[in-house]
Structure 1
Amino acid sequence: MFQCLPLIWLSLLAVVCAGRTLYQIPAKGAKGVKLQLQTSRPYNIAHRGSNGEIPEETAAAYLRAIEEGTDFIETDILSSKDGALICFHDVVLDLTTDVASRKEFADLDFTLNELKKLRTKQRYAFRDQQYNGKYPIITFDEFINIARDAPRVVGIYPEIKNPVLMNQHVKWPGGKRFEDKIVETLKKYGYGGAYLSKKWLKKPLFIQSFAPTSLVYISNFTDSPKVLLIDDVTMPTQDTNQTYAEITSDTYFSYIKQYVVGIGPWKDTIVPVTNNYMQAPTDLVKRAHAHNLQVHPYTYRNENGFLHFNFSQDPYKEYEYWINEIGVDGLFTDFTGSLHKYQEWTSPLPDTAKSPRQLLAQIASLVLPYAKA
């Protein structure tokens, strides 16, 4: 029967079969109006890109996430020795690059040029290793341009990473701070505007940090929405030496909501875990919502080692719990495709909000069973 399919159906099948191709960054200035960011369901936030498959914080990981339907691509911003802003999570290079095999780079504080010579690898040995050694570290500018060049409106979600350490070890001209350089870069590309304003919807952005003083500081220079990240409640913040238990109190929420639109808590801060079983949820989400703060927890991962026993090794059950029972407003996930599939099954967007490629793929999914008959 497959040989008898009309050409149109073969074209539709090609959309699906070619879905695993790594696409180059789309050319700038593509004609036509871009589809806008969806705001009717919780945000799908690509945590360091689609890094369940491809090494984190690489252009390829972000392109895959966009292809898979993410709303926002998320990154951690650090600085090189010479003050260049890069997308990288750790202050050491061993875990996600080939630096250990590059003896010429032993005991260095790296310039951007030196960092660009390294190649990334998967953080976890149990994930696909086929892309190790292929992709370089990217700059913040390159990250932004991936979103700008996407075929639809894709938001960005940069983290001001380790600002205390960055300001201690890197010096910028004119006495500028790490936070200043991040805001300057965002403004250079036209990012700004209050949450859900017309300006914001054209270039969606959340700025996140575990350091509350950094978020308060940049509020003097940008009205872009900010999110305060929350670690284990027993941990101290890097900049105020308060515990995260203190900064999730109602008193603190009343203060910080002047500067942020939401919080990004570790999942286990919201729902405590004992022996890998989730216990009764805290009132953190309820209280945050009472202060008109969004809640974007981290991190959702498909592998059994990250799934609590309550979900019977099923990531879709985890999504269902957090979206429908806890009521979160966004999810940081390593597997953007899985979250997108779940949301399309349970809360599909109207066809007018889908791209031609998405519509073709949807039609093809209906045709495929007959093609295989």
Structure 2
Amino acid sequence: MTAPITRHLSRRGFIAAAAGTAGALLLPRAQAAEARAKPLVFAHRGASALRPEHTLAAYSKAIADGADYIEPDLVCTRDGVLVARHEADLTETTDVAKRPEFASRRTRKTFDGETHTGWFVDDFTLAELKTLRAVERIPQSRPGSAQYDGMFQLLTFEEVIDFVAAQSATTGRLIGLVPELKSSTYFAAAKLALEDRFIATLAAHEYTRRAPVEIQSFEVANLRYLRDKLGRRANLRLMQLVGVGAMQPSDVVAVRGKLTYAEMATPRGLRDVASYADTFAPPTRALIPLKKDGSLDAPTALAADVHAAGLRLETWTFRPENRFLAADFRDGAGEHARNEAGSVAEMRRYLQLGLDGLFTDDPALGRKAVDG
């Protein structure tokens, strides 16, 4: 199950290997390989266009709508528990600001190069966090999701794994996990390093020893560490996320290094990424940028360069509201309006570049775009 394999296993070989070791819980090998021959649909924070992000409701909807993988972003509580939140700041995605018992914990912190004022996960124990409830991050654009505000608890990583394993057993469909380690440098400075906690959690669960797991980070040192500790396994890939231009990974900034995301996206930089990661994941507009009028420009060379380096190409993030679409695909219904046809059309345009996977806030639309 965990024997070394060649680093750049194909999509078909990767899924077949994982399915072949998973026993009756997962699809037969041939079915699984066939089911995953197409580009992968990653549910960004679950079905986050339709339900508050990183909740069981968001993950359940994503799986029902055909996502191949669900994404738990991982941060750490004061007492050392990994939980699914997009960042350390709890202000926009929970009801913490309305909880008078936690008013005194409002503070100011800096992570990933930005300073935030609010309430932070590492100032709360898991028991305290469990008293909070999730809310929609952008209610003006997603009122349908906002109607679920206050209904759902925050989740530990272990709870997410158990839920996905149960869904896989129930549906008979192989469902992957694409966890992102968030702000590793920040949590290490707080003596709450994510990596060993994450490795221990993977090892403790039968499902994550067998099912597909693709681990993401915008930092570099943590991915190198994970590659060294986890080795190369049939069910595991590492994904290097990147920003744009002169932005730098937080771990590089911490040591006053000079590496930028732009340098990582050059042919030379991509070869270096391929020495420790399997996937390169730039934002969509790094692949096809926008013109001044907001419409799509010509594609850059990045897609071809990524594949030439032997890396998979997976991009983030497609969202179904007009405000997030290129001008080519907007329908004139208002910036906050859902535009399903436009979102599918935009994803199909990017799929023409040879994507191996895409992140979307609405997996049903991603499934439609991929399936044709």
TM-score range, shorter chain: 0.7 to 0.9
In the TM superposition, residue 312 of structure 1 has moved relative to its aligned partner by: 3.8
Kindly indicate whether residue 160 of structure 2 is the aligned counterpart of residue 139 of structure 1: no
Matches of 1:155 and 1:245, distance apart in 2: 30
Query: Residues 137-173 of structure 1, C-alpha deviation per residue, up to 9 Å, x if partnerless?
Result: 10000111121111221000000110000111134xx
Matches of 1:294 and 1:33, distance apart in 2: 24
In the TM superposition, residue 236 of structure 1 has moved relative to its aligned partner by: 1.4
Matches of 1:287 and 1:296, distance apart in 2: 13
Structure with the greater alpha carbon radius of gyration:
1
AA paired with 2:283?
Answer: W
Correspondence for 2:323 among 294, 305, 312:
305
SS in 1 for 2:83: strand
What pairs with 1:1-373 in structure 2 (closer than 5 Å)? Answer: 34=27, 36=32, 38-108=35-105, 109-125=123-139, 126-127=141-142, 128=144, 129-150=146-167, 151=171, 152-171=173-192, 177-190=193-206, 202-222=210-230, 223=232, 224-241=236-253, 242-273=259-290, 274-313=292-331, 314-324=342-352, 326-344=353-371, 346=372
Q: Mark the CA change 1:88 to 1:214 in structure 2 (over 3 Å): closer, same or farther.
A: same
- TM-score, with length taken from structure 1: 0.77
AA paired with 1:220?
Answer: D
Answer whether contact 1:232 1:268 (CA < 8 A) is retained.
no
Matches of 1:65 and 1:104, distance apart in 2: 34
Answer whether contact 2:165 2:207 (CA < 8 A) is retained.
no
Matches of 1:338 and 1:124, distance apart in 2: 19
SS in 1 for 2:251: coil
Q: CA RMSD in A?
A: 2.0
Query: Residues 213-269 of structure 1, C-alpha deviation per residue, up to 9 Å, x if partnerless?
Result: 110011111123100001122211101132100111222221221211111111112
Answer whether contact 1:81 1:170 (CA < 8 A) is retained.
no
Matches of 2:202 and 2:55, distance apart in 1: 19
Q: Mark the CA change 1:156 to 1:91 in structure 2 (over 3 Å): closer, same or farther.
A: same
Q: Mark the CA change 1:210 to 1:32 in structure 2 (over 3 Å): closer, same or farther.
A: closer
Matches of 1:56 and 1:299, distance apart in 2: 14
In the TM superposition, residue 122 of structure 1 has moved relative to its aligned partner by: 0.7
AA paired with 1:323?
Answer: L
Answer whether contact 2:223 2:276 (CA < 8 A) is retained.
yes
SS in 2 for 1:106: helix
Identity %: 33
Report the number of matched residues.
303
Answer whether contact 1:191 1:205 (CA < 8 A) is retained.
no
Answer whether contact 1:99 1:105 (CA < 8 A) is retained.
yes
In the TM superposition, residue 32 of structure 1 has moved relative to its aligned partner by: 7.1
Query: Residues 49-79 of structure 1, C-alpha deviation per residue, up to 9 Å, x if partnerless?
Result: 0011100001110011011110000121000
Deviates more, 1:99-108 or 1:127-136: 99-108
- TM-score, with length taken from structure 2: 0.78
Matches of 1:272 and 1:107, distance apart in 2: 44
SS in 2 for 1:45: strand
| Residue segments in structure 2 that go unaligned for 5+ positions in a row | 1-22, 106-122, 254-258, 332-341
Answer whether contact 1:157 1:207 (CA < 8 A) is retained.
yes
| Residue segments in structure 1 that go unaligned for 5+ positions in a row | 1-29, 172-176, 193-198, 347-373
In the TM superposition, residue 94 of structure 1 has moved relative to its aligned partner by: 1.2
AA paired with 2:88?
Answer: V
Deviates more, 1:102-111 or 1:87-96: 102-111
SS in 2 for 1:123: coil
Answer whether contact 1:57 1:138 (CA < 8 A) is retained.
yes
Query: Residues 321-344 of structure 1, C-alpha deviation per residue, up to 9 Å, x if partnerless?
Result: 0112x2211010000011112333
